[in-house]
Amino acid sequence: MAAKDVLRGGRVLIARTQSLLKFFLLTFALAWGAWGVAIAIWSSAVSILRWPVFLVGVFAPAIAALASTARTDGRAGVSALLRRIGRCG
């Protein structure tokens, strides 16, 4: 944490906590929403969509991470995140 962040007191910590909370809520909503839809269409006429919808739920944390990064850091942040992911693979 930079010195100027420390001078601002707890506001930086609150902002980071709120960002993390939003990430978890978005991940939860995407995953369980997609899985709920997948279960609802499992035996219906549009059952061909069940696996793609299920996979949206599986990859919900990655989708939420990209969305959260895009919102807070823009394209530069998303590019940096994808470079870090590419380095790990």
Give the model confidence (pLDDT) of 18-47 as tens digits. 888 999 999 999 999 999 988 888 777 677
pLDDT for 67 beyond 70: yes
Distances (CA, A) of 70 to 19, 63, 78, 81, 82: 12, 11, 6, 10, 11
pLDDT for 17 beyond 90: no
pTM for this entry:
0.72
| Per-domain residue ranges of the chain | 22-88
